[in-house]
Every structure is written in C-alpha cells, then in structure tokens.
Amino acid sequence: MWVEKDSKKNIYWPSSEMKKKAHVSDEKIYDESLKDPVKFWSNHAKKSLNWFKSWEKDYEEDFPDFKWFSGGKINASFNCLDRHVENNGNKPAIIWEPEPVEEKEQILTYNDLLQETKKFANVLKKLGVKKGDTVGIYLPMTPHVQIAMLACARIGAIHSVVFSAFSSEALKTRLIDAESKILITANGYWRRGKKINLKKSADAALPDTKVQKVVVVKRLEEDLGMKSGRDFYWDELMEKVSDDCSCEEMESNEKLFLLYTSGTTGKPKGVVHDTGGYLIQSFLTTKWNFDLHSDDVFWCTADIGWITGHTYSCYGPLSNGLTMVIYEGSPDFPEPDRFWKIIEKFKVSAFYTAPTAIRMFARLGKQFLEKHDLSSLKILGTVGEPIDLDSWNWFFEVVGKKRCPIIDTWWQTETGANVINALPGIGPFIPTVAGRPFPGIVADIFDDSGKTVKNEKTGDLVLKSPFPPGLLRGVYKNPEKFKDTYWSDYPDVYYSSDGAKFVFNKNIRVTGRIDDVMKVAGHLLSTAEMENAINSCAGVSECAVIPKPDKIKGFVPVAFVILKKNFKKSEEFADTIVQSVRKTIGPIAKPYKIIFVDELPKTRSGKIVRRMIRNIVSGEPIGDSSTLENPNSVNFLKKVIERELK
C-alpha cells in the first residue's frame, strides 16, 4: 500500500513504505525551495543536466521578459540520448504499441533512438535545415515523432508539432505563422481500425506556405501520392546519410520549440519555449511527480501534438533515462480494455491520463478492467482539466485498488511542465484538489484588487517572480500579444486565466478557466462549478453546462448530461440533478434545462468541445469539426437542441 486514509477526513497521505521509496519525502522542501527559488533551480540544473558550458547568471528579469542560466550552453537531444548511452545504451527508451492488434510492438533502446536521431538530423541538414529554422511536424503517435523532435533539437532547429487530427486549414495556419520550410508527415495511420489519409490533409495545407520539402513516413502500405522533387520517403532518405552527427551547443535561452494553442477563441498563438529552463522543469517534475526510478515504466497517454505529449512523452522521460510507452490508437479499440491490456503487457508503473478518459472508462464498466493484472501500477496521474469527485474515486478505487497516490496536476501549454500538484512522498492526496505549487515555484490566488484571497474564496491563479524556468518566453513574432495576454491584468505577475481557491493548509483547488463563466441575472457563475455539482449525482457519467442567451436574465445554464449504464432518462432524474445544483451552489445556478444525450462532441484525447455546443445553442457558426473523434455527434446535437430549446 502506497497511501493511507485520514479516518476523519476524505484525505489520503503517503504510507511509510511510499515515503521510504520516494525521491522527496520531507515537507521542508517547500519552505526551503521558496527561501531562494533561483538557487533551488540552479542547483538542480547543475546536477541533473549536462552542460557544455556553465552559465554566467542564474536568473535575469526585465519584466515581462526573463532568462534562466544566461550564457550556459546545452543541447536537449544530448541530454535525452547521448548521456544515457554509455551506461544504459541497451535499455528500452520507447515501447511503441501500434493500434492493429496483429502488429507487434516495437522497442527502441537508447542506442537505437540515438542512432535514428543522428541519422534524421543529417537528413534535415541535407534538406537545407539550419540552426534557427522552423520545422513543421504533422505525425501520428509513432516513434518517428520523437526522433524528428530530437533531431531538430540536435541541430538547433525549432520544431513546431501540429496535432495529427487537426484539419489542413489548422495546419496551414501554423505552417504560415511559423514560416516552416520543411514538413514532416506520414502517408497515414490507424484510428479505430480505419486508415486515416494524413498525406491528403498535409498536401491540402501546403499552398501559400513556405514549405519546400516534405518528408513522408510510410506508415501505410498505400502510395497516397508523392510530388516529385518535393516529397521524399523517410526510409529512403535515412538510407543515404551517416549515423554520426554532433550536437549544436545551444545557449540556454535559445528556442527549443513552438507549440500553438488550440485556437478555439481566435488565431492560434505560437507559444515559445526555450531550451535550458524548459528542460530542467521537465526533468524534475517527471522524476518527482511520478516518483520514477530506473526500473519503472512510464505511460503518458497524451498525443504528442499537445504540451503534455511534448513534456511527458518525450523530453521529461528521456532526459531522465526512463522507459516510456507510446500508443498509436484509440483507448477503447478494438475492445474497451485496450488501455488495461497495455498496462498489464508492459508492466506500467506510472499511468498519466485525462479525467475525460477516466469518465469514459467508468461509464464502460469495471468488468473490462478486472480481467487484467494492474499490480505493476504505483502512481496514477491526471491532467488536462479539473477532475470531478466521482472520477477521482473511480480512478483511485477501481484502477489503483486504493493503494496508488493520485497526482492531480495543474499546468498549461504556457507553463511547459507541471506547476501545482501533490508529491507522492509528501501528499496530501485530496479528491478534486491539485495540491501545492511544485518546489521552487511561487504561485498565489488574487482577488480583483491583486491581494491574496482567503481560504475557500475563488480568485485568479497567478505565478510570481522568479518565474518558473519552463514558463513561455513569448508569443512567436508577436511581443504585444505576449504582454497583453499574460502580463497586463496584474502588475508584475503571470496571469493564468484560471480560477482557484485555497483549501486545507494552502492546497489549491483549480476551478477552471475564468472565462468559462456566465452572467445569470447579474450573477457570475462558473460552468465548472455547476458541472461538478451535476457530476456528483449518482448515475451521471459526464456533462457539459452551456450558457443559453436569455432576454431577461442575460444567460441561463443548459446542462447536457450523459448517464451511466443502467440509468434511465426521466423527468424525475432531471429534477434530481436540478436540486443537486440548487443545493450545492444556490437557486441562481438552477439549470434552465437538463438535456439527456448519448454523446457529446469530443476531441481524440477525450475533451468535450464545449465551444461547439455553445455555438449550436446560440446559433453561431460551429467552426472546424474535423478534429472531433465523433463528428456525427454535431448533427445529432443540432436536432436535439432544435427540439428541446425551441
């Protein structure tokens, strides 16, 4: 058992066994790190990473710009590969599980990964890529994507990964903004047993961009169209280059990658992450948050197209010299137990996934899980959104058998790596509560006047100086956007745009995006708070609360609710949900309408696309639905909304 429950409160603490094995188990780490955060990060950067040249200044700040380890020379690819090869070259670095069950897994050792990365770095150089150039990457979850990223880092090129389920228009926008001259893509991949033609989307995105060369991974056997002189197959290029490629010595603050925000509220922003600062926060949060040791196997289920995939399916695990799992396909294909099969098959130690996936599995039923031996699990992690109580309990009780700590992490594309969570050897593990700021990170919750809020009062979550080393360094080619978006709401702090509150000994519960609110009869209400109240009802699997325009009240909340199996839709049940919201929040939050649905529009990673539902409700254009896992749900919702909200 790794955890013990406080008999008087719904709070869990690490067991003595957990404390003995944990990298960090002394609560003093928080106070000690905050006495001098700069010294804390500098000490860990020195002992945890390999530097070609030591830095001249630990930290500099010219608000809102700041630098870590100025003058220091480092390379992310070297820290993820070369330094591990001498002693652990034959250790598995990546275990790749393809979606088709008839295909065998592929295991790349650190030797393999280094050799492939060096060769592809030479491919990029042969294609004319130089230090400072931006390379577009539009790949599925195969090891090619990590190889491409690390090859870019090796030669000082900036990679810009675009989620493979994004449409050609979304890809085009990002290629144009990043001024990418090279695109790395695949002819296709597998999803739910179907062949996805990725090359077609890539080709449609290229007109009006600066892309001159396209490298194509041949994942499918079909020849899906290659343009002579522009398109080249990955394997053919790799056969013609050497496997010897030295690392570019990068100044710590030079760009490592761009990652564009999803763009659901406007033009995507190219978030800029540097090299040295990002790498140390990735390294340390991976090691401490998931208490990973040399014999552990780590699985982060996020797609590489998101920041979670960058940090916890590439740079974090590999810089630690760990073994990680990546999976190509859908979590419930061909059967709902696919994730559990993978955990059992590869003896996964730490499993990091999203609350939306947990809710899906809970709805499917524990019978699919109980067929498999999950005793290898030691740590469970959640990411992507605040987790509701039912999902937390199901994850803890059914998946972890009440013995694994749940590390509920808060962070953003902009922060680069985890910022707030409990540490496995310290705790506490409180359902729906993220925890404390990671050691060395200064966070606070402000009221409208910029003062710290009292316990249980919701305010704005901010980060204070010295700013975390992994925090974004700009918005690509748009310094004004950088200032206006993140630094203009309060003097001298980073504004996260998330709401939060302090609970139990300054632990932090994140309540959701500040802009995810609606004004009902003059009162601002958080949709996340209403959704939590609805999700707490027995029988509710998940829900989305959407504001509906109202001539009298401004807006009224409409709840779209998916029920668990064996629960029937009825007016009585709808009233039970309404009363739960009234009791939990107050009469003002009473939903105008409860609409039972079988599904909601979701991304492939399982997130409900609330923007799309909101647009249908308000009569606005729906927008790009090409990234949805279930695009047919949109037409279904239209019909339901027309019927229910006349």
Task: Return the pLDDT at 263.
Answer: 44
Q: In whole angstroms, give the CA distance from residue 197 to residue 188.
A: 5
CA torsion sign, 561 to 562 to 564 to 569? positive
Average pLDDT of the chain to the nearest whole number:
93
Task: Return the pLDDT at 457.
Answer: 87
pLDDT at 623 over 90: no
> In which region does residue 450 sit, left (phi positive, over 0), alpha (psi from -120 to 50) or beta (all else)?
left
pLDDT at 329 over 70: yes
pLDDT tens digits for 84-104?
998 999 999 999 999 999 999
pLDDT at 549 over 90: no
Tell me the two tokens of residue 460: 């704005």
pTM, entire model: 0.86
**What does the DSSP assignment read for 409-441?**
-B--TTT-S--EE--TTT--B-TT--BEEPTT-
pLDDT tens digits for 310-327?
999 999 999 999 999 999
pLDDT at 265 over 60: no
**Reported confidence tier of residue 584, pLDDT bands at 50, 70, 90:** confident
Task: Return the pLDDT at 294.
Answer: 96
Tell me the two tokens of residue 530: 């209403």
pLDDT, average across residues 61-73: 97
**Reported confidence tier of residue 519, pLDDT bands at 50, 70, 90:** low
pLDDT at 644 over 80: yes
Higher per-residue pLDDT: 287 or 533: 287
pLDDT at 522 over 80: no
pLDDT at 631 over 90: no
**Reported confidence tier of residue 553, pLDDT bands at 50, 70, 90:** confident
Q: In whole angstroms, give the CA distance from residue 442 to residue 433.
A: 18
Q: In whole angstroms, give the CA distance from residue 429 to residue 426.
A: 9
Domains in the chain, CATH or no CATH each: 519-644 (3.30.300.30)
Quick check: 434 and 409 in contact, CB under 8 A? yes
pLDDT tens digits for 182-204?
999 999 999 999 999 999 999 99
User: In the beta sheet, which residues pair with residue 115?
Assistant: none
Q: In whole angstroms, give the CA distance from residue 525 to residue 403.
A: 36
Q: Residue 292: count other Cβ atoms within 10 Å of its Cβ.
A: 25
Reported as type and span, the H/E element at residue 66 is: strand 65-70
pLDDT at 585 over 80: no
Q: In whole angstroms, give the CA distance from residue 500 to residue 583.
A: 21
Tell me the two tokens of residue 298: 């780590």
Higher per-residue pLDDT: 449 or 182: 182
Tell me the two tokens of residue 643: 């019927």
pLDDT, average across residues 451-468: 93
pLDDT at 628 over 90: no
pLDDT tens digits for 31-51?
999 999 999 999 999 999 999
pLDDT, average across residues 347-361: 93
Task: Return the pLDDT at 262.
Answer: 57
Task: Return the pLDDT at 264.
Answer: 39
- Of 21-25, 291-295, 505-509, 528-532, where does mean pLDDT reach its minimum? 528-532
pLDDT at 607 over 80: no
pLDDT at 524 over 70: no
pLDDT at 550 over 60: yes
Q: In whole angstroms, give the CA distance from residue 88 to residue 296.
A: 14
Tell me the two tokens of residue 438: 């990671």
Residues 6+ apart with CB under 8 A from 583: none
Task: Return the pLDDT at 315.
Answer: 98
List phi, psi (to 5°) of 137.
-125, 120
Task: Return the pLDDT at 122.
Answer: 98
Percentage with pLDDT > 70 across the chain? 97
Q: In whole angstroms, give the CA distance from residue 239 to residue 199.
A: 22
CA angle, 281 then 286 then 290, to 5°: 145
pLDDT at 536 over 90: no
pLDDT at 359 over 90: no
pLDDT tens digits for 273-282?
999 999 999 9
User: In the beta sheet, which residues pair with residue 436?
Assistant: 421
